[in-house]
Structure 1
Amino acid sequence: MGQPATIPHVAKHAAELWSDEPAIIQAGETWSFADLWRRARAAASGLIASGVGQGDRIAIWAPNSREWIVVALAAQATGAAIVPLNTRLKGREAADILRRTSAKMLFTVDNFLGTDYPALLAKQDLPDLDETLLIGRDLPGLDKRGSGEADERVDAALEQLTSDDVSDIMFTSGTTGAPKGVVTTHGSIVPMFHHWVGLMGLEKGERYLIINPFFHSFGFKAGWVAALVAGAVTIPVANFDVDEVIRRIEQDRINFLPGPPTIYQALLAAKAENDFDTSSLRGAATGAASVPPELIRRMRAELGLRDTVTAYGMTECTTITACRRGDDAELIAQSVGKAIPGLEVRVIDEDGEELPRGEAGEICVRGYGVMREYLDDPDATASAFDADGWLHTGDIGTMDADGYVRITDRLKDMYISGGFNCYPAEIEKLLSEHPEIGTVAVIGVPDERLGEVGKAFVIPRPGKSLSAESLLAWARANMANYKVPREFKVVSELPLNASGKVLKTELREG
């Protein structure tokens, strides 16, 4: 039998292959692969009865849970694409994405870390949104709308579903400040994570603690999709709490624990204070920030994560390069690995010519794993790809003789805070809505815990006075917390070049 073509077909295949084996453990309850697929089919029947089908968009705005996976599989089985929303977004940010995707239904929660998500949308204009359902409470009612797991309409929809169909639309920002919808097909994801599983050595029955959020490619595609491919056990974590993660490691005998460097730093600090059992741990995949070689060594020596690797990707191509198990700590820390099987990676100069090994230029990728397009934005799509189909990442790096890539700089001003991509242009746009801000410039500055954090330089509007404290409070109320600059500096002027553009290099040096 060939490789399954789509994510729902991966789940179906897993149910056939490992029917009664554990697929998900949550709150002490275990679902088998067959249980998961039955629940997904029943929910898909309910969605079809609700009028959901090919080409529709279903949004999910919720923390990691088994129900999140059920909704995603169900929606995709009907031919719809999912639109994962970051749980840190505020109502205005989420509403913009819901409008731009014409999302038909929204699955969310009414209490996560004290946030009532439906309430955040109460005053937003959402003309295409037919219904909002609570992901935990309303799924049984959705199931009852349909004909149950045996519904032949689900089989018919699955037969129509191909690798060319859109799997998801995930939003990323950039130099323009407006979030862009990255349209990705099933055919970009399924082969990639068959390769990824092989590179990571993820095996059937291994227990995979997924801390990375499902609204991010790391938690969704390199998370539960990879677990379905491998036959591994998904153990979702709603939010990172070091004590809860330690409990899960010990009680659930976790084997595989990916995440940004901050997670391992927190676990190492906790272990130094109060030792805990890490004997079950085997593997880790990290990245999304610079990784000191000493951290890799300590992860292996003190946490038992002997198969620790770094990888590099972006929303537009989830995994571009990865180290290999067995690579030494220096190589893993200082590089992001080499191209994953089936993808081409090269480093080019300003004229688009490939550079000799060791010379710095822009990293480009080509192959099955890249996105189809930016949603409703042909100009941005055209500028992202060149005439030969290479996706330009905007990252600057070098490639050695063995194909290992080192990222040295970014063409864009993006910085990474606690594993989240932060785009100064988008943050500046949001801050500019403050009624007393005249001009603002944001840069990323080093931070020991989060890797980098934002620093905002603000010029008040004429006749207005601003304080760093009031700006911080306003930002926290109006944007996702990872976007909020940790420092505000009120200034009278900003360094500009001849064309009036802010010289961020001078801000960083100053």
Structure 2
Amino acid sequence: MSDCLPPISTIPNAVAHTARLRADAVAIEEDGLSLRYGALHETARVAGRALMALGVAPGERVAVWAPNLHEWIVAALGIQMAGGVLVPLNTRLKGREAADILGRSGARALISIGEFLGVDYPEMLRGHALPALRHRVILRGEREGALSWEAFLARAEDTPEAMLDARIAALTPDSPSDLLYTSGTTGRPKGVITTHGQNLRAFSDWSDIVGLRAGDRYLIINPFFHAFGYKAGWLAALLRGATILPLAQFDAETVLARVERYRVSFLPGSPTLYLSLLAHPRLDAYDLSSLRVAVTGAASIAPELIRRMRKVLGFDVVLTAYGLTECCGLATVCRLGDALQTIANTSGRPLAGVEIRCVDDEGNDVAAGEPGEVWIRGYNVMRGYFDDEAATREAIDGAGWLHTGDVGSLDAAGNLCITGRLKDMFIVGGFNCYPAEIEHLIGTHPAVAQVAVVGVPDTRLGEVGRAFVVLREGESMSGEALLEWCKSRLANYKVPRSVVFMAALPTNAAGKVVKHELMALQARIAPERAGGIGSRAAGPRRDAGAARGGAGRAGGGEPLAQ
């Protein structure tokens, strides 16, 4: 074998490169399993050969529908080695939703968990017509009409190693690597196509900026079906030779225990994740001294949260970032050495090779500090929406600018501050209000753990703001007191007219607050309560995916790490 390493132009080449350099280093640790880089590479090759034996051709789509498990990574790498395109499915999807994506993507094979958290995933697809789907593989279980994971891997015997090598050699940086479907929060989910070269460049740069390095122990809570758990998660870890510690289900105590047990050093996630850890009643019982780096992001992150992450949780580095599925999940990142206010108030500066503009309705740049729609141009912009040229043309203009639908502003140093979504904006008496700006201010109150603001109808002003607030453990206050506090810090039209206190905010699997659920909730609040400044509502039941982190909003931008 030659001592010259091949150029790292595709994900299979990148994995082979790391396996050669760090064959005996632990790639994945999961509940007693320890898989070294050399073994991971070989097992992924077996999966690739097995897929070829099933007839998966270059460019064909293969879906993975499972929680964070080591087999998820093996399957994904096998798909890409076989020249296929990875289609991750959200584990929260119901049968109809999953069938819709499987059908529209034309997926030829589905690799799925059998049961997870009491849900039978194969059963949810029963009765749905999927004519393109030829093969089903079940992880950790058996189902009639499907191959078990072990039986699937055994099919590799039908494909010579040389045939897999030829598939890998045929890949280029421009070959599609994945097809991620947006969350559908602004309409029907759309499939976003990105390539091997785009993702390698973006997350190699991200790893350099945030300080991910060989030997780091990376607890990945963010779901693998999301760009944050996949690209800024296990893919970035593989590029650096870090150890991946997958977590299938979020639970604050489990996270704390694993940080101590596995000496976790790298723990990105949503603000909700860190708030959950900080609020845990037994936080002081765990040794968190191994923690080094946190990467998060949201339109509003209270500086106090960053201070507590450093002081209480012990992180040396806390950084924020921004991206959306349509730009590989990444566009801007704060840098080491940035001031706390920069990290709290912005999502940092663009990656090298990426441009950011904030523009008005006519497409003209707005002044520094003024809000406008965020446009992105660069190597990271998607190749387009799958089988939807009209939507692609609507999203990307003739000059290559991706119109994100996010509202933000750029400061004099080029740091991007996300103000909100165009569709989230509400108008109070003719004045535009962006929820993220109001949320950021309320989030600085020492009694507030989380806040979300939505616009609600008002007979006099058209719309006014309503704040849904989660208080920090042990804190109490009235809605009147919070709004009085806001009045001295916000223009009058920006001050919410009512407050609803909650035990928890509803979140999606990426940890992002689901505002349409808040809108539905406020519609059910009796008028006399809704008009009351400090009404209370029971918090939503937190399911297994709550507080799991996310990179980029699927379908419209949300900050990368949340």
Matched, 1:345 2:367: no
Match of 2:335 in 1: 324
| Equivalent residues in 2 for 1:242-261, closer than 5 Å | 242-261=252-271
Please report how far the alpha carbon of residue 2 of structure 1 lies from its aligned counterpart in structure 2 after TM superposition: 7.0
Go from structure 1 to structure 2 and tell me whether the alpha carbon gap of 1:411 and 1:61 turns closer, same or farther (over 3 Å shift). Answer: same
Match of 2:403 in 1: 392
Post-superposition, which runs of at least 4 consecutive aligned residues in structure 1 deviate over 3 A?
173-176, 271-274, 413-416, 443-447, 449-453
Match of 2:386 in 1: 375
Render the CA deviation track for 1:362-383: whole Å, top value 9, x for unaligned: 1111111111001111111001
Match of 2:468 in 1: 446
| Equivalent residues in 2 for 1:74-89, closer than 5 Å | 74-89=78-93
Go from structure 1 to structure 2 and tell me whether the alpha carbon gap of 1:205 and 1:271 turns closer, same or farther (over 3 Å shift). Answer: farther
Go from structure 1 to structure 2 and tell me whether the alpha carbon gap of 1:289 and 1:191 turns closer, same or farther (over 3 Å shift). Answer: same
Match of 1:440 in 2: none
For residue 17 of structure 1, the aligned residue among 17, 21, 25 is: 21
For residue 51 of structure 1, the aligned residue among 52, 55, 64 is: 55
Greater shift, 11-20 or 356-365, is seen at 356-365
| Equivalent residues in 2 for 1:149-164, closer than 5 Å | 151-164=161-174
The SS at the match of 1:406 is strand
Please report how far the alpha carbon of residue 150 of structure 1 lies from its aligned counterpart in structure 2 after TM superposition: 6.5
Q: Quick one: distance in 2 between partners of 1:177 and 1:481? A: 22
Q: What letter is aligned with 1:455?
A: L
Which 5+ residue runs of structure 2 have no aligned equivalent? Answer: 142-147, 426-434, 437-451, 455-464, 471-503, 506-511, 524-539, 547-562
Q: What letter is aligned with 1:398?
A: S
Matched, 1:178 2:241: no
Q: What letter is aligned with 1:140?
A: E
Structure 2 length normalisation: TM-score?
0.75
Go from structure 1 to structure 2 and tell me whether the alpha carbon gap of 1:164 and 1:93 turns closer, same or farther (over 3 Å shift). Answer: same
The SS at the match of 1:10 is helix
Identical counterparts, % of pairs? 47
CA contact (8 A) 2:293 2:317 kept: yes
- The structure whose RCO (Cα within 8 Å, separation 6+) is larger is 2
Q: What letter is aligned with 1:373?
A: G
Go from structure 1 to structure 2 and tell me whether the alpha carbon gap of 1:180 and 1:408 turns closer, same or farther (over 3 Å shift). Answer: same
Q: Quick one: distance in 2 between partners of 1:80 and 1:112? A: 26
CA contact (8 A) 1:24 1:235 kept: yes
Go from structure 1 to structure 2 and tell me whether the alpha carbon gap of 1:129 and 1:148 turns closer, same or farther (over 3 Å shift). Answer: closer
The SS at the match of 2:202 is helix
The SS at the match of 1:146 is helix
For residue 455 of structure 1, the aligned residue among 518, 525, 537 is: 518
Match of 2:12 in 1: 8
The SS at the match of 2:34 is strand
| Equivalent residues in 2 for 1:172-321, closer than 5 Å | 172-173=182-183, 177-270=187-280, 274-288=284-298, 290-317=300-327, 318-321=329-332
Greater shift, 324-333 or 391-400, is seen at 324-333
Go from structure 1 to structure 2 and tell me whether the alpha carbon gap of 1:273 and 1:35 turns closer, same or farther (over 3 Å shift). Answer: closer
Q: Quick one: distance in 2 between partners of 1:268 and 1:457? A: 29
Please report how far the alpha carbon of residue 4 of structure 1 lies from its aligned counterpart in structure 2 after TM superposition: 1.2
Q: Quick one: distance in 2 between partners of 1:54 and 1:64? A: 26
Greater shift, 340-349 or 169-178, is seen at 169-178
Go from structure 1 to structure 2 and tell me whether the alpha carbon gap of 1:148 and 1:140 turns closer, same or farther (over 3 Å shift). Answer: farther
Matched, 1:107 2:111: yes
Matched, 1:73 2:81: no
Aligned length: 446
Please report how far the alpha carbon of residue 174 of structure 1 lies from its aligned counterpart in structure 2 after TM superposition: 5.5
Q: Quick one: distance in 1 between partners of 2:82 and 2:466? A: 42
Please report how far the alpha carbon of residue 356 of structure 1 lies from its aligned counterpart in structure 2 after TM superposition: 2.7
The two structures, once aligned, show a CA RMSD in angstroms of 2.9
The SS at the match of 2:48 is helix
Go from structure 1 to structure 2 and tell me whether the alpha carbon gap of 1:302 and 1:173 turns closer, same or farther (over 3 Å shift). Answer: closer
CA contact (8 A) 1:187 1:368 kept: no
Q: What letter is aligned with 1:191?
A: R
CA contact (8 A) 1:38 1:149 kept: no
Match of 1:336 in 2: 347
Render the CA deviation track for 1:185-232: whole Å, top value 9, x for unaligned: 112100001100001101101100000000000000000000011111
